Amino acid sequence: MAAIVRSDHAKSLVPGLHALFGMEYDRYDNQHERLFEKVSSDRAFEEEVLLSGFGAAPTKAEGASVTFDTAQEAWTARYSHSTVALGFSVSSEAMEDNLYEQLSTRYTKALARSMAHTKQVTAANIFNNAFSSSYKGGDGVSLANTAHPLVSGGTFSNTFSTQVDLSETALENAVIAVNNFVDDRGLPIAITPRMLLIPFEQQFVAERILKSQLRPATSDNDLNALNSMGMFSEGVEVNAFLSDTDAFFILNNCPDSLKYFERLGVTTSNEGDFESDTMKFKSRERYSFGWSDPRGVYASSGA
């Protein structure tokens, strides 16, 4: 195990140093909190099972028997918690001879930054891998897919059949598609968009589309319907960890969709090593990100 020693911080050991910099930047922390429903967990993994309801009730003829329907469990979404941990050690001489801010304090902040970064990347990867067949949900297909299976037979789609770039037309068509979602027995359900999730590269396009009083990029004097209807009640979320520069995601008010299970919150500890006189510091947490009901998302990977 390598330790941070005095030679790693030669400038910190002599008078005259004006400032140490490089680890005091602002961070993109906790962006996942607006995107995922947080749930506590007390086991190695969590499972959520889809229950299908009943179909439409038929009209009963006079004197005829009542039609009986069946309900069943369908597929299962499993959340397997990962353990994320990182540590560092500092020699006793490096801590004793440091003339400025304590090394342990400075690097404990860096440790927190690394842990937070991993969590944000893990959360964003749910969207970064949304179109990949290598990352399947409980229903056996990717998060954004044109063929999510229905218990009653057939499929439904939560993405465009032909992928498109972010535009007024694309958002209007996506909203209509979301409004037409059905449950697993084919009954219409009241799901509406709540938030537009985009990478940095799309923030100016989104601003023009959603904030203009009139329709953007046209010479017509038409009303901007997306703006006047307040279509995205929770606004636009720009995420620093989305990797596809022209992808966009509409998050909907669907229950039990995007989930963040916290098995163990961030814990930190430190101890000294008797033989080497080094001080060891570590941080650890356990969690999982995923989705149960894909109706919580409508997405495009861009044209």
CB atoms within 10 A of CB 216: 17
Indicate if the alpha-carbon torsion angle 239, 243, 245, 251 is positive or negative: negative
Predicted local confidence at residue 29, as pLDDT: 75
Residues 6+ apart with CB under 8 A from 173: 160
Residues 6+ apart with CB under 8 A from 92: 277, 278, 279
**42 Rama sector, left if φ>0, alpha if ψ -120 to 50, beta otherwise:** alpha
The token duo for 90 is: 């500092």
User: pLDDT tens string for the chain (303 positions)?
Assistant: 565 554 454 444 444 433 444 445 567 778 999 999 999 999 999 999 988 889 889 999 999 999 998 888 888 999 999 999 998 888 888 777 764 456 667 777 888 889 999 999 999 999 999 999 999 999 999 999 999 999 989 999 999 999 999 999 999 999 999 999 999 999 999 999 999 999 999 999 999 999 988 888 777 778 999 999 999 999 999 999 999 999 999 999 999 999 999 999 998 888 888 888 888 888 999 999 999 999 999 999 999
* DSSP code for 3: -
Q: How do the domains of the chain map onto residue ranges?
A: 36-50+74-300
Distance CA 298, CA 146 (A): 10
What residue type is 247 in one-letter code? A
Predicted local confidence at residue 12, as pLDDT: 46
Burial classification of residue 70, based on how many CB atoms lie within 10 Å of its CB (0-12 exposed, 13-18 middle, 19 or more buried)? exposed
Predicted local confidence at residue 8, as pLDDT: 52
- pTM, two decimals, is 0.86
Predicted local confidence at residue 196, as pLDDT: 98
Does residue 209 sit in helix, strand or coil?
helix
**The CATH classification of domain 36-50+74-300, taken from the options 1.10.10, 2.50.20, 3.90.1690, 3.10.450:** 3.90.1690
Token pair 């039609």 is found at: 67
